[in-house]
Chains A and B, each alone.
Chain A
Amino acid sequence: MTTLAEEPAAKEPAAEEAAAPRPAAGEPPAPPMVQVRGLWKSFGPNAVLRGVDLDVPAGSVTVVLGPSGSGKSTLLRSINHLEKVDRGFVAIDGELIGYRRSGDRLHELKEREVLRQRTHIGFVFQNFNLFPHLTVLENLTEAPVSALGRPKAEARARALELLERVGLAEKASAYPRQLSGGQQQRVAIARALALDPKVLLFDEPTSALDPELVGEVLDVIKDLAQAGTTMIVVTHEIGFAREVADTVVFMDGGVVVEQGPPREVLDEPRHERTRAFLAKVL
């Protein structure tokens, strides 16, 4: 089930092993890494999610498109339980998020347990949310040390490795505000990776960036995609979706209108709403 080979170092040994992590043809297909079933969520009288279903296979990239207010961000925030939904369930790698089942009852998990579950789910925010009073390195080591209890030296070494990977090794001792927006977002991605999550969620990762900085962040995400990281990306970058996505999901009015490979959804949309949206953004 742990098909997550999210970096070259981890990928090599995986490739050498004869028992390939990906199910060969004929075997029963592995359950999706992310399963979303019937999510409903209202803010006051305003229903933002109206029964969303979604499956994200391990190692795949799902790009969620849709007009603003369509529930994309809420869906993403519900997946790691930052938003508590009114109805519906989310499971990551077969583990129910936010609840425990015993017999025919569901118990809400304590905050401490939800926090532990979240360490498996990396989240990258639109406006980075780096900790401004901590250095870049401290931003990366905080959660591995305090949430996973990793030794400091180990967390440090891993953090430097990840900074190298996003091309910011020399910024380890800088404070976030000393970096450009693109650099900050790359640090935020490295921070999410520092927990070795099973899935990475991106909430409009390039929307707060100047146009010339968008590319560097998308390049990092593309690298991750090639390394086989399971990702859900909410974005308005259609070009990126076409290039990187395995599945494009189009949402509107709190429901998934259609989903499929980018060629289908982006080039031959079946629904009028998708066509109207694409006509506006393309």
Chain B
Amino acid sequence: MSTATTTEPLAKPGGRPGAADTAGAAAPLDLGELAGLRTIRTRHPWRWAAGLATVVVLAQFAHGLATNPGWDWATFRVFFSADTILRAVGRTVELTAYGTVLGFLLGAVVAAMRLSRSLILQTVAWGYVWVFRSIPLIVQLVFWFNLSYLYKRFGFGIPFGPTFGEFETVGVLGALGAAVLGLGLHQAAFAAEIIRGGVIAVDPGQREAAAALGVPRWRQAWRIVLPQAMRGILPSAANEVISLFKGTSVVYVMAIGELFYQVQVVYGRTGRVVPMLMVATVWYVLLTTVLSIGQYYVERYFARGADRTPPPTPLQRARALARGLRARTATAVATGGRS
């Protein structure tokens, strides 16, 4: 009370008349008697209106999906799990896996070169990234596919010296090989920058502390810096994998039977473009979902120690929710029975 009277003259010129008025007008406030009162929560009519409008639009779209014959769900159902499509999905997954593994392995090497203390390695790595980020993926793919024009034969030996073994380029680098090579080399340039970004974001004090403890250099990188860098690397890396996964559709130019190529083959034959595109779309969404879930758990693993209390997994969260609901229904049933 005494504070209210002292602040009042100060508050008025201060430009908060509302606060001053209530402080002045209200009877002495007894906080103790508030305990028994019911609290009415603030209402948000506009929040509800906006939410409702959005739901209506979505419902309209869903209704269209279900009723518009153009979507042709019958065809969708037939082809969604057809053998040719499943095989094509497998090929897409395969290309993604190879591209990711090759891309990130090579990317890690390029990043390490870029971060090394050797000026030559740094420059070469910079050049690699420069070249492969500059060339459109599709150009590169076609180039690798046609490598046999440039080099008929491919041999191992001493540089500028004798050759020990030779292969026909066409035999070694088929369409699939060219696709994997192209995707991998392309991916490596981006992966290298993502990895480098993660590494330079780690507090330099971490490496310094490891060095002060005499921890060997490779172990400083592998045990101290990289695990911490992973936190920064993972979200972008997952982006890259997902974009590579959809990007594999570019290799249709080489007539490889991946998902998008196969779908085109089918609609070229049947003319049912929309349902076949939906087949591809739903598969891409499904597999991206799997990758996203995987990403969540991998990120969680590398976040250990980052928070004071690690957040619960969705599974733990669901279980806690279920437990809470069960408890609530149990009490509801009990009290309902009594009243």
Flag whether B215 is at the interface (Cβ < 8 A).
Answer: yes
Query: Do B206 and A82 have beta carbons less than 8 Å apart?
Result: no
Name A132's contact: one of B213, B223, B306 (CB within 8 Å).
Answer: B306
* Distance between A49 CB and nearest chain B CB, rounded to angstroms: 19
Bound-complex Cα distance A82 to B217 (A):
14
Cβ of A270 under 8 Å from chain B: no
Question: Smallest Cβ distance from A228 to chain B, in angstroms?
Answer: 22
Given A142-B223, A177-B305, A119–B205 Cβ distance below 8 Å? Answer: no
Q: Report Cα–Cα, A177/B306, bound state, in Å.
A: 7
Nearest to B218 among chain A residues (CB) is: A146
Contacting residues, chain B, for A80 (C-beta < 8 A): 212
**Interface check B209, CB cutoff 8 A:** yes
Contact in complex: A146, B219 (CB < 8 Å): yes
Q: B213's contact among A111, A135, A147, A175, by CB below 8 Å, is which?
A: A147
Cβ contacts under 8 Å, A118 to chain B: 211-214
Residue of B nearest to A116 (CB): B214
Closest B residue by C-beta to A148: B214
Interface residues in B206-247 (C-beta closer than 8 Å to A): 206, 208-217, 219, 223-224, 227-228
Bound CA–CA A35/B333 (angstroms): 80
Docked pose: A112 CA to B216 CA in angstroms: 7
* Residue of A119, A129, A133, A135 touching B214 (CB-CB under 8 A): A119
Judge if A125 is at the interface, Cβ distance under 8 Å. yes
Number of interface residues of B (CB under 8 A): 25
B302 to chain A, nearest CB (A): 7
* Distance between Cα atoms of A133 and B226 in the complex (Å): 11
Q: Which of A121, A129, A143, A178 contacts B206 (CB 8 A)?
A: A129
Q: Which residues of A contact B205 (CB under 8 A)?
A: 125, 127, 129
Chain B min CB distance to A147 (Å): 4
Among A115, A134, A191, which residue has its beta carbon within 8 angstroms of that of B211? A115
Question: What does the 1/0 interface line of A122-140 toward B look like (CB < 8 Å)?
Answer: 0101010111111100000
A195 at the interface (CB under 8 A from B): yes
**Contact yes or no, B305 A82, CB < 8 A:** no
Range of interface residues on A (Cβ < 8 Å): 20 to 34
Cα A119 to Cα B210 in complex, Å, equals: 10
Task: Give A127 to B210 CA distance when docked, in angstroms.
Answer: 14
B241 to chain A, nearest CB (A): 23
A143 contacts B305, C-beta separation under 8 Å: no
Q: Provide the bound-state CA to CA distance between A178 and B305, in Å.
A: 8
Q: How far is the CB of B183 from chain A (nearest CB, A)?
A: 32
Q: Nearest chain-B residue to A134 (Cβ)?
A: B305
Interface residues of A in 176-218 (CB under 8 A from B): 176-178, 191-192, 195
B304 adjacent to A143 (CB under 8 Å): no
CB contacts (< 8 Å) of B323 on chain A: these are none
Q: Which one of B203, B215, B302 lies within 8 Å of A142 (CB-CB)?
A: B215
> By the criterion CB–CB under 8 Å, are A82 and B208 in contact?
yes
Which of A100-120 touch B at CB < 8 Å?
111-112, 115-119
In the complex, the chain A residue whose C-beta lies closest to that of B203 is A129
**A129 engages B304 (CB within 8 Å):** no
Q: Knowing A127-B205, A142-B223 are in contact, say whether A147-B304 is a contact too (CB < 8 A).
A: no
User: Is B224 within 8 A of A131, CB to CB?
Assistant: yes
> What A residues does B308 contact at CB under 8 A?
177-178
B306–A143 touching, CB < 8 Å: no
- Chain A to chain B: the 9 pairs with minimum beta-carbon distance, closest first: A129-B209, A175-B305, A143-B213, A119-B214, A147-B214, A123-B212, A129-B205, A118-B214, A115-B214
13 residue pairs bridging A and B, Cβ less than 8 Å apart: A115-B211, A115-B216, A118-B211, A129-B208, A131-B210, A132-B228, A135-B305, A142-B210, A142-B215, A142-B224, A146-B216, A146-B219, A178-B308
> Which B residues are within 8 Å of any A CB, using their own CB?
203, 205-206, 208-217, 219, 223-224, 227-228, 302, 304-309
Taking A115-B217, A117-B214, A118-B214 as known contacts, 17 extra A-B pairs with beta carbons closer than 8 A to each other, sorted by chain A number, are A80-B212, A82-B208, A82-B212, A111-B217, A116-B214, A118-B211, A119-B214, A129-B205, A131-B228, A132-B228, A142-B213, A142-B224, A143-B210, A146-B223, A147-B214, A178-B308, A195-B213
